[in-house]
Chains A and B, each alone.
Chain A
């Protein structure tokens, strides 16, 4: 790692640790095995969103040319969001691509991701299925997103989840044992049991 990247990451670390967001448990940052090139971030699902109360872990890789090039960030926690791949966790956010600026820090990146969770951009999607649902069935999108938050990100449970759990159970009884695939299938098919079953069949 180049000298400038290393010194900057170390400085950023100090900055993040002292920041108000960390004090308020909004964001968290820690290195993977004392190696500053690979970091683990954590953001809390912002209030008034389906992700509220969820804890989202992020994988951050610092390139050799940091801060002249953006860090490579993806979600490790599964999330249902138009701009984040429900399969890989890849993020579609301009500042992590062509709109990066050298003065941005890991703290601003984490806060930007939190902002992205509150304000999705369905016209510039990473996950087309989620984006379509977001536009055509916003209600289903919201409940699906909060179901994913409950299942994967330790977000609190709500009423709607009982219905979804029921459908998951039915699918399981039909012989589909892989939980993640069942959730993805039902979510993608707007919780239509028949369509999800066809989706899962080879």
Chain B
């Protein structure tokens, strides 16, 4: 309509707006009616409420023959859509239901009051790096700029929010510092096998550290895994660190270099936990055989996801006549009726048994892709 009046509407007959010059222009401020006009007394539209009943009055029933109940059930009518609340970027969308539309002026005033309260929140755009393009027109509060993060995140009226934000900000900052220290620490670490800087390796999937559990020598994941996978050497040779020959049972992948005992422990714990969520390919829901059996880091469950006990390992022994035969395997469980009641004792027993199983392969790392 505005373009048409000025003789420059390019849409002609297809225009969504009325091209009827005889119709009277609606000069009532829509935002004022909703109680959220930020121009206040300087608004160029009328801030009056008498038009409201005319505009938002109860729509006439489309047909007198139709029962009113049915029209209520049949959902919004096309004229309802036309009266739907306008979407204003930066402002909250407050769609009105039928009752609100048909309500009298007094209730509209109450609604506008409650809106004012809701707008006492921080503007999410202003808190972002882009900033709020509405500036002062924005219906939301533009907070004070936080010195730590540089964003308008501090609510001018809410001290608790400010304190909370500052605390979060400090925590965030500490984390960022730690991360940058970790990267600085990792940046120049050179793999003892390929002699390249681990983080400079290409492709990016190769730029990972393989952290050994029992020593602090630097290797990239691919090199240390390849070394440990060499079958030309004895197990104890390849499981030893190529630098110091201290044996480690498994390798933990990490994108940063971790040397601190506690951090390393945490890293390995997280890694094991992550692996224990994945089903073991060798175990294959009990259909396959996993050489690591109960020592495997991966999940040994049946198809329904229930944990399964380890399989008995047939042990070979050489008979007096020189032939080898499978030893009959006795499971301790078979002789114990109450498994759970004695669990503590049993754990000790298992630990004790584990002491004699140095040759049992606890390395399950090589299974990962």
Q: Which residues of A contact B (CB under 8 A)?
A: 4, 7-8, 11-12, 15, 67-69, 98-104
Specify which chain B residues have a CB less than 8 angstroms from the CB of A67 in the assembled complex.
193-194
Specify which chain A residues have a CB less than 8 angstroms from the CB of B232 in the assembled complex.
69
At the interface, yes or no: B226 with Cβ under 8 Å from chain A? yes
Q: Which residues of B contact A (CB under 8 A)?
A: 192-196, 217, 223, 226-227, 230, 232-234, 237, 240-243, 245
Q: Are B233 and A103 in contact (CB under 8 A)?
A: no
Q: Are B242 and A101 in contact (CB under 8 A)?
A: yes
Q: Are B196 and A100 in contact (CB under 8 A)?
A: no
Q: Closest CB-CB distance, B239 to chain A, in whole Å? A: 11
Pairs A–B under 8 Å by Cβ, sample size 22: A4-B194, A4-B223, A8-B193, A8-B194, A8-B195, A12-B195, A15-B195, A67-B193, A68-B226, A69-B230, A98-B233, A98-B234, A100-B233, A100-B237, A101-B240, A101-B242, A101-B243, A102-B223, A103-B192, A103-B241, A103-B242, A104-B242
Specify which chain B residues have a CB less than 8 angstroms from the CB of A11 in the assembled complex.
195-196
Q: Closest CB-CB distance, A29 to chain B, in whole Å? A: 15
Q: Closest CB-CB distance, A144 to chain B, in whole Å? A: 35
- Chain A, residue nearest B193 (CB): A102
Specify which chain B residues have a CB less than 8 angstroms from the CB of A4 in the assembled complex.
194, 223
Of A99, A101, A103, which is in contact with the most chain B CB atoms at under 10 Å from its CB? A103
Contact of B230 among A7, A12, A68 (CB under 8 A): A68
Contact of B192 among A69, A100, A102 (CB under 8 A): A102
Q: Are A102 and B195 in contact (CB under 8 A)?
A: no
Specify which chain B residues have a CB less than 8 angstroms from the CB of A102 in the assembled complex.
192-193, 223, 227, 242
Q: Are A7 and B196 in contact (CB under 8 A)?
A: yes
Question: In the complex the two chains form, what is the Cα distance from A171 to B227 in whole Å?
Answer: 53
Specify which chain A residues have a CB less than 8 angstroms from the CB of B196 in the assembled complex.
7, 11
Question: In the complex the two chains form, what is the Cα distance from A67 to B240 in whole Å?
Answer: 15
Q: Closest CB-CB distance, B189 to chain A, in whole Å? A: 14
- Chain B, residue nearest A104 (CB): B242
- Chain A, residue nearest B218 (CB): A103
Specify which chain B residues have a CB less than 8 angstroms from the CB of A100 in the assembled complex.
233, 237
Question: In the complex the two chains form, what is the Cα distance from A67 to B194 in whole Å?
Answer: 8
Question: In the complex the two chains form, what is the Cα distance from A15 to B196 in whole Å?
Answer: 13
Contact of B193 among A15, A98, A99, A103 (CB under 8 A): A103
Specify which chain B residues have a CB less than 8 angstroms from the CB of A104 in the assembled complex.
242
Q: Are B242 and A7 in contact (CB under 8 A)?
A: no
Question: In the complex the two chains form, what is the Cα distance from A104 to B217 in whole Å?
Answer: 13
Specify which chain B residues have a CB less than 8 angstroms from the CB of A69 in the assembled complex.
230, 232
Specify which chain B residues have a CB less than 8 angstroms from the CB of A15 in the assembled complex.
195
- Chain A, residue nearest B240 (CB): A101
Q: Closest CB-CB distance, B251 to chain A, in whole Å? A: 13
Of A68, A99, A104, which is in contact with the most chain B CB atoms at under 10 Å from its CB? A68
Specify which chain A residues have a CB less than 8 angstroms from the CB of B233 in the assembled complex.
98, 100
Question: In the complex the two chains form, what is the Cα distance from A98 to B193 in whole Å?
Answer: 17
List of 10 A-B pairs having minimum Cβ-Cβ separation, nearest first: A103-B242, A103-B192, A102-B242, A101-B242, A103-B243, A11-B195, A102-B193, A102-B227, A4-B194, A8-B195
Q: Closest CB-CB distance, B207 to chain A, in whole Å? A: 15
Question: In the complex the two chains form, what is the Cα distance from A74 to B230 in whole Å?
Answer: 24
Question: In the complex the two chains form, what is the Cα distance from A7 to B243 in whole Å?
Answer: 19
Other 20 A-B pairs with CB < 8 A, given A12-B195, A104-B242: A7-B194, A7-B196, A8-B194, A8-B195, A11-B195, A15-B195, A68-B227, A68-B230, A98-B234, A99-B237, A100-B233, A100-B237, A101-B240, A101-B241, A101-B245, A102-B192, A102-B193, A102-B223, A103-B192, A103-B193
